[in-house]
Structures are given as structure tokens and as C-alpha cells.
């Protein structure tokens, strides 16, 4: 397929590279051009604007930081929507609000373009290694048409539904499952540290019980009280739980644990942890126990 | 070793069987004698009281329902403590309060007996299959002396510390990690159901992400909204989170997610779910969302 | 003073009437004109648009439902900002977000107009009876200049600070104090009803203890389980707690009780209570207890 | 009436003094005898044990610190129950658990004595000034018989029900209403302080709105960040919220705000505030906001 990849942070660069490896034609765009140029020797063409990148694409994939970046890059002048042909698809892989996903659905429909939300689970290394879990949603025919894209970037694809925003809801709930596991591990180890128990002992027992790489990874950071290198910054974790709570509000569904997580992220922000890994939210439970 | 196993529910029977298979001499006691008799053809000797079972044992293992049962069976007249020789060990595998563990430590010390807490993680099938995770705590020498017991019943042993109650704290925190995962999965799927997303889709994505048998098991029950057969009754789950909150209180460590879990278990009790599997607490989050 | 009052719901009509009684010249505007006409015989002049109402005013007072209504009425074409003279003041009495208050501050500054937030505490009857509590914020000189307005509409004025949005933060926190009292009274009476205690007995004891008309009023509705006539609709209560949580987020200040209140309002929405009095949120605590 | 007052802390001494002023015969007992002797010149007779104090009493009133003290003083050897005549009444004014109230009901019934719970609302100054709010519960005839006692010590009496423990439930819920108001005032002022608003301004507005001496008192302490002199120690506040959560558990009624309050009291304990006034729990909300 003829594809555009817009937004070349660590995630987006991984996507672009795997799409190139998969034999697709890829035009790339990034605000800071050097990251685009780095992909030229792997076969990418560099565009000067999102609109230009999207011009001849069957599908334009965006992988951007937040709602604000997506709105500017897609709906701004020289944005991807301005360049995309009628009948072509915008695939948004970014973690954005369900509200923006609904707006994008409408904006693209008004331009006779298609729109899919296709957020991904996985860290930058997973993006690089083609090990993402992809959760697309949108009209069945469009999802099917884009399957080669999902195959090229991930190890598994799960279709969330016929409305694009449903995929964003799934992504936000998935991040909540991780965030709440972090929070709970933090609460448990705070109690155990006050009981004189080494958190590493607890981690070993939990690894034997849960056998989950997610718990092994974050539990390890918490047991070590070591939150660098940063895989996912705490301020982004807070952004995601905010978006989740907005979605839950739209659905009139209370999520009390999500509220606890949000409150602890806020405390962590107040204490200056915004750029530490989001697992450092565990320090709040420790602090609340006087540690 | 010469061992006693007191309390022959599904967990205790599994323990006794594996100890016999491991070549130990095992005397068993159960309030309802038929369960003890069932082990005779596997080589067990049946005792008429906890005291009698413990009489000649190097170690007496108790696996009972709750604090009340342990107090009666161990400290009552004809209880295990009355029979156990000076120098012998009581190994309590039950999920009991840290407070009772400290009391048992003192009671046995006064009788010049040793005491270990050694709670286990795993369902009855795991007990049967020698796949428990064992978390003993107590004086290092005593733990070491009892290692053959742990080897005979489990697949892994993690020593929590030198004070028996520390193992109970670890057990309660481990159960909290499971309970909170159940609660969070319930909250997420309540929101997603209101968003029109099939919880099975969410479960598949989460299984791809977490790869944990715990989530696969409970997530499956929740996605199916099917809480039988009952692996662990909700009223016992509530008992455990109560004990956890008591321990956290002793440690002056707030655990806000544990409080949320407790509150939802209470609602489930109020609605008559006490005998359903504890994963049915997910129905409270659904109900709070108007489902 | 030469004043405009824009937005003539029950609150705004009360304000306009008291300003007329106070001897001020008042031009009024309301989307549904009949409510404006009703004030003519009390001396008001009717304008055809917010801009026209604000044209010759020293101060234009807005009393509108929410952020959306304020944005349209003030910043839309033919909005109040378009009519207001340089040097004149916009006094926003509506319960709006701190974010919109900051935007209005900027928008008016760009037009060389002044801006005050001056939210009020009190029900429509208090507005009618000149018994509101007024909380203005903004530059000291401007607040002082508008004191005759506050004197005409309220029984007490408390200046929140030099930045207009600070008054909105105070208003949202004040509403939170009421909402949380409602929630807590609901939780207490749910427990007591299950204990067989008449909530009216509890209310009497609490009235003897707190002596607060707020508790007497809402406690009475809850004890009677009677939520009509509607003083303040539940969906507006939810709107306000949402705005509070946004403000708390901006301030990086967790408010766990506000999160509980939000969650219970959401449940009430899911159950169709949006148009009942906000005190009906007490039914959620009762329902969670199986009542 | 011929009365005994057992437990002469600041509350109990106030009770005894008002009963003497009311013309009753009063025998007093206190573990530290000097406090009993201080009442002799006001007409009290001093007893050497709780049993002796209760010997000839129509009603023996206990006002003690907690469950432990009540159990020892009433049910211990030489306890009040041992001295009280058949047909006489034990009136427990202490803030105790509903569980202990049920046990006392049974213990006294077994001795053919009557039992009432009659907890009181009010500080020591209110006890001294005969301004307590009294909440008795028990068999109607017994309550009626003891009305002269309630009249002598309080300004109002509200009968909670026919079972003594119901009065304790009311008392615990009443304390929760105060504790939650403290917590919420603390959360609100934490946000407002970060918004640059003086908490005293907020307090003034809230006093104008709520007109409650409870808010004026505790809000003043919080606005001043001044928690001495200590009216009610934080550790006792925690004790009471613990008892409330136990009662709520017995009733299968979740009280999420009570859980938040408990968690913040626990944090305050962890930080060494146990002997400060319970209003100092507001410091936890401030600390969680980075203040």
C-alpha cells in the first residue's frame, strides 16, 4: 500500500520502519525534520507537511502525543485532512480522547474520507520489534482494507467495534489496567515495607502467581524504587487517566479505582514527578504511609 | 518427617496427600471424620482430636477456614497446642490475621514450641497438583528445618521474614493484588459495555498484553458474567480484604484501592452474592453504571 | 449605575429586580424574550441582543447556565463583549469553570474592558430576597467600583482575590461543601436504615448538633426520600463537581471525597435521576447498601 | 434517683456535677481517685471500685475511653455489673462499638439488669454546661425511667430505638458527619491555597452559608493551621471511624467517604499527629497537594 506516517517519535519511527520492511511505500512527516530524514536510507520519502505526506496515500497513519497535536496536525491548515484524497483513510494510532475520535470521524466523513482509530499497546521497543497489540475500530470494510497495515506493525489485532471511538475506549481501559496494577503494587509494598517485608520478596511471589511481564516490569521498578530510564512519563499517564475518566463520564459509568489512580498521579505532579516513569506513582502510597 | 495435618478441606486434603507422596509419616485430623478416613488408604493415620494428631509430630500443619477455626482448633481444649511436644513446630497455612499470627507466636513460645506462618497461594487444584506457592515466615532455623514440608506441597517457596505474621501480611497483600485486578477489570468492562464494546474483545487484548493466567481466569468469568463453579466464595474474599485493612491499619498505611474493593464486596453481600465466586464483585461496578 | 443583566432565569430575574429596587438603571436581555418583558413594569428596559444590552452599561452582569451559554452570550457575534464600552466591566455571576474565567479575563483585556467573576451562593428565593452571598474576584479597584452592585443583590460580600478565576474556585469549593454534606448524610442514613434507625431521628440529632439550615434542608429531603420540588437539578450538581475536579487538577490538588461525590452523581445519572434534586444522590448510597 | 457515675474524665466529671446539681444522689468512681475526691465537696460519695459504686444505684452511668475500658470496668472482677442490683440499669454514655453494646445487652440481661446505650454529642465544656445532646436507646420503659438522668445532663434527648446498639450507631454516624466536614474543608482549602485564595476568606463565606458552629470551630482551626488546644485527639477520631466502618460492615452498607477519612487519619498517624486535634487531618489533604 501507499502509506503516510505522520509523527516520528520513538513509536512512530518504529511503525514506519516496520511498514517499510513489510514492503509498503511510505512517506513520512515529522515536525522536527531530522527524525524523518533518518528513515530515508530505509526507503522512506520525506514530506514537507502533513498534507503533502497524505496526498497520494491510501492510508495516512498518525502517531502523535495528544489531542492537541492530533488536532493541529490533522485539522490545521496544511494538515493531513487537507491532503488526503476522498476515499482514503486516516488511521489514528495515538492515544486520544473518545471525544476527539468522534470529531475526527465527522470531519473525515464531511471530506468523504474514512477514519479509523487504531491505538496500540506496547512500548517503543515493541513498536520497533513489530510486537504491538493493535486495536482498530471503524467500519468493517475499512478495517479489513487496512489489515495489511496492522499485520505489518503488530503481533495481534483485536477489532473493538464499528465506531472508531470504541477503540480509544479500549485503549484507555487497557492503560487503566496497567496503571491500577502499578497503584496496587505500590499500596501493597508500602504496607509490606512498614511490616518489615522486602518488596523484592513480594515481587517474586507475585511473579510466581501472576506470571505477567507487566507486573514483572513495573513491580521491579517499584521494588527497586528506581524510575529511570523512563518508559512512559507520569504526566502522560495522568493525561490518559484523565481521558479515561472523561470517557467513563460520557458513559455514566463510575470508576472509583481510576479516581484513586488519578488522585495519586496528581499528588505525584504536585511533588515534581511529572517526568519520572509513571510507575513512580507508587511513591505516593509510600509517602502516605509515612515512608 | 513425622507430620500432622489438621483441617482437611479441599486445600488441606491436597497438602496431606502430597506430604504422603513425599514419603512423610502423616497423621490427619478433621472435624468431620469422613474426610480423614478418605486418606487412610493413601497411608495416613487418623487422630481423634487435634491434640492427638499433634502428639508425636515434628510439625503440625493447620489449614483452616479463618481465625475463629484456628483459635478453637489450636488453642482450645484438646487443641493442637495441647498435644504438640516442646521443640516441635506448628505451621499455620491458613489465611489468618496478622494479629492472630502474633498471638500464636506468643502462645507457642510460652509452651516452648515453635511457630511458623506459611500461607499458600493457589486453588485446590494447585494444592492437589503440588503447585502451590508457599510463603513461610519465622525464625530462620525453623524455616530451614521445615523446608522438606514446603518442598512436598509447593512449586516455589519464598521466605517473608523472621516474624511469622510477616508471611500473613504477604498473603493478604497477594490476595489484594488478585482482588484489585478483578475490581479493575469489572470497572473497565462496565464502562466498555456502556460504550458498546464486547468484554470478550477487551479480555483478548488484555490477555495479549498481560499474559497472566490470573487475569485470563477471572477476566473470563467476568466477560461471561458466569460465576459458577465457585473457586473462592465472595464472603471469604471480603474476609480477606477486611484482614488486609486491619493489617494496613496496624502498619498505619492507607490502601485506598483496598477500601474501594471492600466497599464493593459489601455491596455484593447486601445483594446476596456471598456464596458466588468473588469475581462476581464485578457486578457491582456494572450495577453502579446502570447495567 | 447604568447596568445590564443578561440571563433572566430565576436567579437572574431576582438579581435584576433587586438592582432596580436599589435605584439602578437596568437594561435586560434574555434569549426567551417574555422573561425580559416581565421586568418592564418594574422599570427595566429590554434589549434585543446581549451586545445591545451591554452598549451603554457601566457594568454588564451575566447569570447563565454554564460555560457554553456564557461563551455564546458573551463572545458570540452580537455578544456582550461586542457591545460593552472600553473601560466598562463584565461581571460574571454564573458558576463557570476557572478556565473560562481566565479566558474571559484575557478576552475582555484585549478589548480594554474589565472583567470580574462574582459567583453567588443561594437559591432563587435568596436571589429574590436579596440574601445572596456574593464572592467577587478581580482587580481591587474594579471590585470596589462594583460594590454597589453586590450591595444591591446580596447580604454579604467576600472578595476572593485579585484574579477573577479565584472566585470561581471558591464557588466550586463551596458547592462541594454542600454536595459532600449531602453525600455523607446519605451514607450515614443508609447505614442507619439498615440498623433499623429512623433517618428523621438522626436528622433531629444532627440539627441539634450542626444547627445548619443547609443540613436541615437537604437532610430533610433525604430523610423523607422526597426530591421534589427541585431546587437544584442533579445534572447541574454533576456539572459543578466536574468543574471542581478540573480546577483541582489545574492546581495539582487531589480531592478524594469530590471523586466519590462525582462517582455517585454518575451512578444517579445512569439511573435516570438527572432532573431530580441533587440531594437524590443519597439514593445511590442507599442502593449500594441493598436498600 | 440514686446514681453512680463511673469514669471521671472531663466528660464524666461534667455529667456527675450536673447530676448532683439536679438533686440526684451520686456515688462516683474513677481509677485515679483524686478526680473522684474533687467531687466530694459538691456532694458526691466516693466508691473504691466500680462494683461498690453500682451497689445501691438505680442507674450506673459509665463514661469511659473505649471498648477495652468499658469491658474491664463493667465486666471485670469488681466491675459495675458485679455490683449492680437486679432490676437496676447500666447507662453507657461512652462511644463504644455496636458489637460491645450488643454484648453488654446480653451480659446485663443474664444478670437480670437493664442496659441502655446513651452516647452524647458535645465537648467537655458542653458536658459541664448541661448542653449535651443525648441519644439513648433501649427498651422504651427503661428509657423513660432514665429520662431524669438525660434531662439533668443535656439540652435535648433523641431516642434512637429499642435496641441499645442503635444509639451507638447514631453516635458513630454523627461523629462521621463532623469528621467528613473536617476532611472536606481540608480538601477544599488545600485546592484554594494552591489557587492563591486565603482559607479564612473561604471560611467566612462558608460561615455565611452554613451558619454552623461545627464548621466555624473546625474550619477556624484549619484556616489557622492551629490544632491546639486539643479538643478531641486524632487517635480517638481514628478509633471512632474504625468503629463506624465496623458497624457499616455489620450492616453491609458501604461508606466510601468514611473510608477516605479513615485513610487520611491513618496517614496522619503515620506522620505523628496522633495527639493533635483531629481537625489536623486536614494537613494530609494539604500535603497530598504538595503544600
User: Which tens digit of pLDDT belongs to each residue from B3-12?
Assistant: 999 999 999 9
Asked if C260's CB is within 8 angstroms of A259's CB, the reply is yes
Residues of C with CB below 8 A from A248's CB? 266
Asked if A271's CB is within 8 angstroms of D289's CB, the reply is no
**Which class for D188: exposed (0-12), middle (13-18), buried (19 or more C-beta within 10 A)?**
buried
Residues of A with CB below 8 A from B282's CB? none
D259 touching A (Cβ < 8 Å): no
Q: Which range (A227-236, C193-202, C278-287, D198-207) has the least confidence?
A: A227-236
Chains touching chain C, criterion 3+ CB pairs below 8 Å: A, B, D
- C92 beta partners: C62, C117
Angle at A161 between CA A157 and CA A166, to 5 degrees: 100
Write the residue in A174, A198, A257 that is nearest to B206 by C-beta. Answer: A174
Residue D130 among the catalytic residues: no
**Which class for D278: exposed (0-12), middle (13-18), buried (19 or more C-beta within 10 A)?**
buried
DSSP 8-state symbol, B279: G
Q: What residues contact residue B249 under an 8 Å CB cut-off, 6+ apart?
A: D242, D266
Question: How do residues C206-227 score in pLDDT, each as one tens digit?
Answer: 999 999 999 999 999 999 999 9
> Over the range C239-262, which residues count as b (16 or more CB within 10 Å of their CB) and which as e?
bbbbbbbebbbbbbbbbbbbbbbb
Confidence of residue A86 (pLDDT cuts 50, 70, 90): very high
- Which residue in C35, C99, C131, C171 is the catalytic one? C171
For residue D286, what is the nearest residue in chain A, using CA coordinates? A267
- Which residue in D35, D130, D171, D239 is the catalytic one? D171
Label each residue of A20-75 as H, E or C.
HHCCCEEEEECCCHHHHHCCHHHCCEECCCHHHHHCCCCEEEECCCCHHHHHHHHH
Cα–Cα separations (whole angstroms), residue B200 to A143, A187, B81: 19, 29, 50
Write the residue in A204, A212, A288 that is nearest to B158 by C-beta. Answer: A204
For residue C183, what is the nearest residue in chain D, using CA coordinates? D257
Put the strands of the sheet holding A154-157 in their side by side order. A120-121, A132-134, A154-157
Tell me the pairing of strands C89-92 and C59-62: parallel
Give A 159-198 residues with CB within 8 A of chain B: 159-161, 163, 165-166, 169-170, 173-174, 176-178, 180-181, 183-185, 187-192, 194-198
Closest-CA distance, D270 to chain A, in angstroms, reads 5
Q: CB count, 10 Å around CB of D3?
A: 29
* Under 8 Å between Cβ of D53 and D80: yes
* Residue of C98, C177, C263 to mutate, interface with D, max D Cβ within 10 Å: C177
Predicted confidence at residue D110, as pLDDT, reads: 97
Write the residue in B266, B267, B290 that is nearest to C271 by C-beta. Answer: B290
Closest-CA distance, B99 to chain C, in angstroms, reads 28
Asked if C256's CB is within 8 angstroms of B267's CB, the reply is no
Question: How do residues A211-261 score in pLDDT, each as one tens digit?
Answer: 999 999 999 999 999 998 898 999 999 999 999 999 999 999 999 999 999
Mean pLDDT over each residue of chain C, to the nearest integer: 97
Tell me the pairing of strands B132-134 and D132-134: unpaired
* Residue of D155, D177, D247 to mutate, interface with C, max C Cβ within 10 Å: D177
How many CB pairs below 8 Å do chains A and D form together?
Answer: 24
Give the DSSP H or E segment for B114: strand B114-117
> What ranges make up the beta strands (E) of D135-208?
154-157
Question: How do residues A105-161 score in pLDDT, each as one tens digit?
Answer: 999 999 999 999 999 999 899 999 999 999 999 999 999 999 999 999 999 999 999
Angle at C183 between CA C179 and CA C185, to 5 degrees: 115
Residues of A with CB below 8 A from D271's CB? 290
Asked if B98's CB is within 8 angstroms of A202's CB, the reply is no
Three-class DSSP category at D137 = strand
Q: What residues contact residue C138 under an 8 Å CB cut-off, 6+ apart?
A: C105, C114, C115, C116, C117, C162, C163, C164, C167
Confidence of residue B167 (pLDDT cuts 50, 70, 90): very high
Chains touching chain D, criterion 3+ CB pairs below 8 Å: A, B, C
Closest-CA distance, C80 to chain D, in angstroms, reads 28
B256 touching C (Cβ < 8 Å): yes
At C116, give phi and psi (nearest 5°): -125, 140
Q: CB count, 10 Å around CB of C129?
A: 13
What is the rounded CA–CA span in Å between residue C70 and residue A154?
46
Give the DSSP H or E segment for D86: none
Residues of B with CB below 8 A from D266's CB? 248-249, 252-254
Asked if C206's CB is within 8 angstroms of D98's CB, the reply is no
**Which class for D272: exposed (0-12), middle (13-18), buried (19 or more C-beta within 10 A)?**
exposed
Label each residue of A254-280 as H, E or C.
CCHHHHHHHHHHHHHHHCCCCCCEHHH
Write the residue in C242, C260, C270 that is nearest to A252 by C-beta. Answer: C270
ipTM for the complex shown: 0.95
A262 touching C (Cβ < 8 Å): yes
> Over the range A58-70, which residues count as b (16 or more CB within 10 Å of their CB) and which as e?
bbbbbbbbbbebb
Three-class DSSP category at D223 = helix
Tell me the pairing of strands C132-134 and C120-121: antiparallel
Residues of B with CB below 8 A from C263's CB? 288
Three-class DSSP category at A4 = strand
A125 touching D (Cβ < 8 Å): no
> Sign of dihedral through CA atoms D13, D19, D21, D27?
negative
Q: CB count, 10 Å around CB of B140?
A: 11
Active-site positions of A read 171
Q: Mean pLDDT per segment of 10 residues, for chain D of length 291 residues?
A: 95 96 96 94 96 97 96 96 97 97 98 98 92 97 97 96 98 98 98 98 97 96 95 95 98 98 98 97 98 94
A288 touching D (Cβ < 8 Å): yes
Closest-CA distance, C288 to chain D, in angstroms, reads 7
| The three cell numbers locating residue D226 | 492551629
| The three cell numbers locating residue B194 | 456502556
Give me the residue label for grid cell 508500602.
A190
C263 touching B (Cβ < 8 Å): yes
Write the residue in A133, A166, A195 that is nearest to B251 by C-beta. Answer: A195
Cα–Cα separations (whole angstroms), residue C124 to A14, C14, C121, C129: 59, 7, 10, 9
Write the residue in C249, C256, C266 that is nearest to A254 by C-beta. Answer: C266
Q: CB count, 10 Å around CB of B275?
A: 13
At C236, give phi and psi (nearest 5°): -75, -35
Predicted confidence at residue D282, as pLDDT, reads: 98
Active-site positions of B read 171
Confidence of residue B27 (pLDDT cuts 50, 70, 90): very high
What is the rounded CA–CA span in Å between residue B256 and residue C256?
10
At C277, give phi and psi (nearest 5°): -60, 145
Closest-CA distance, C257 to chain B, in angstroms, reads 12
B48 touching C (Cβ < 8 Å): no
Omega cis (within 30) before D182: no
Predicted confidence at residue C115, as pLDDT, reads: 98
Predicted confidence at residue A227, as pLDDT, reads: 95
Question: How do residues B247-287 score in pLDDT, each as one tens digit?
Answer: 999 999 999 999 999 999 999 999 999 999 999 999 999 99
What is the rounded CA–CA span in Å between residue B66 and residue D129?
49
For residue D238, what is the nearest residue in chain B, using CA coordinates? B249
Predicted confidence at residue B253, as pLDDT, reads: 98
Asked if D242's CB is within 8 angstroms of B249's CB, the reply is yes
Give me the residue label for grid cell 437532610.
C219
Residues of B with CB below 8 A from C254's CB? none
Predicted confidence at residue A263, as pLDDT, reads: 98
| The three cell numbers locating residue C13 | 430575574
For residue C180, what is the nearest residue in chain D, using CA coordinates? D184
Whether the predicted model's global pTM rises above the 0.80 cut: yes
Of residues B190, C255, B256, C265, the one with CA closest to residue A173 = B190
For residue C257, what is the nearest residue in chain B, using CA coordinates? B256
Of residues D262, D267, D192, the one with CA closest to residue D223 = D192
What is the rounded CA–CA span in Å between residue A254 and residue A233?
26
Amino acid at each position: 500500500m501507499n502509506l503516510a506516517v505522520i509523527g516520528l517519535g520513538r513509536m512512530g519511527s518504529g511503525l514506519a520502519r516496520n511498514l517499510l520492511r513489510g514492503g509498503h511505500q511510505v512517506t513520512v512527516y515529522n515536525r522536527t525534520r531530522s527524525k524523518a530524514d533518518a528513515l530515508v536510507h530505509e526507503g522512506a520519502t520525506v514530506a514537507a507537511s502533513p498534507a503533502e505526506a497524505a496526498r497520494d496515500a491510501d492510508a495516512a497513519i498518525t502517531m502523535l502525543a495528544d489531542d492537541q497535536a492530533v488536532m493541529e496536525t490533522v485539522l490545521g491548515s496544511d494538515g493531513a485532512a487537507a491532503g488526503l484524497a476522498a476515499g482514503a483513510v486516516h488511521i489514528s494510532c495515538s492515544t486520544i480522547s473518545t471525544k476527539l475520535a468522534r470529531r475526527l470521524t465527522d470531519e473525515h466523513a464531511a471530506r468523504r474520507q474514512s477514519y479509523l482509530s487504531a491505538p496500540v499497546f506496547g512500548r517503543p521497543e515493541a513498536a520497533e520489534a513489530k510486537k504491538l497489540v493493535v486495536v482498530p475500530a471503524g467500519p468493517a470494510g475499512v478495517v479489513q482494507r487496512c489489515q495489511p497495515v496492522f499485520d505489518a506493525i503488530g503481533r495481534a489485532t483485536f477489532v473493538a467495534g464499528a465506531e472508531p471511538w470504541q477503540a480509544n475506549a479500549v485503549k484507555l481501559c487497557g492503560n487503566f489496567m496497567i496503571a491500577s496494577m502499578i497503584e496496587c503494587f505500590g499500596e501493597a509494598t508500602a504496607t509490606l515495607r512498614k511490616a518489615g517485608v522486602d518488596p523484592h520478596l513480594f515481587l517474586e511471589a507475585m511473579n510466581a502467581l501472576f506470571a505477567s511481564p507487566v507486573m514483572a516490569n513495573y513491580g521491579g521498578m517499584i521494588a527497586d524504587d528506581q524510575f529511570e530510564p523512563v518508559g512512559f512519563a507520569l504526566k502522560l499517564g495522568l493525561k490518559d487517566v484523565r481521558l479515561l475518566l472523561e470517557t467513563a463520564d460520557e458513559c455514566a459509568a463510575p470508576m472509583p479505582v481510576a479516581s484513586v489512580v488519578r488522585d495519586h498521579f496528581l499528588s505525584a505532579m504536585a511533588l515534581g514527578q511529572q517526568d519520572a516513569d509513571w510507575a513512580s506513582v507508587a511513591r505516593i502510597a509510600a509517602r502516605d504511609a509515612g515512608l
